[in-house]
Amino acid sequence: MIDRFDNLSVNILPLATKLTPLQGRRYTLSHSEATGEWLVSIGLKGSKQITSYDLQNVIQAEWTTKMGEYVLLGKINIDSEANDKKLAQIRYMIYQKELPFLIKMIINSDRPFFNYYPLLLDAPIHIEFQSTSSQLYQTLFIGTPRKYLIEESVNT
């Protein structure tokens, strides 16, 4: 597992700012196998993201409401292009292992936002593993943003 943010860049897409919006704020975490670089893009639902040809989207997450409470809902597609069930199972196991680091990158890339909306530090994070296999398709509760913040990130 990667434990540093040396190769992480953050891109705030137009119409989103460091502090707005809350509803519909979307994160896309992408990775380059060739360079090892990570990119978190922060934008709005429907924002057009221009990415390099070698970047692969790993996880998408969005602030939404469920039953009147804010929730960070993330989605990871674990199916391969070859529709190989064994490969999907391997990807599922890898993503489960790496998920805490992936969420930590997203949460820490948006620190000013959490300073502005400290109540979101205790909002639930749900991750949906998307797959054509019913055994792999599931939604997991993985904690709250507070769990993933690096100590000096937010003083609450």
Nearest to 14 by CA among 53, 36, 44: 44
Tokens read off for 146: 């507070």
- Picking from 144, 141, 74, the residue whose alpha carbon sits closest to that of residue 114 is 144
Q: How many Å apart are CA 104 and CA 87, to the nearest integer?
A: 25
Q: What is the pLDDT of residue 1?
A: 33
Which residue stretches of the chain have pLDDT < 50?
1-3, 153-156
- Strand-pairing partners, residue 74, are 61, 127
- Mean pLDDT for all residues in the chain: 88
Q: How far is CA 14 from CA 46, 49, 69, 127, in A?
A: 11, 10, 26, 26
Q: What is the largest CA-CA distance in the chain?
A: 46
**What's the pLDDT score for residue 2?**
40
User: HSE-up of 136 (CA within 13 Å, CB side)?
Assistant: 24
Q: What is the pLDDT of residue 83?
A: 72
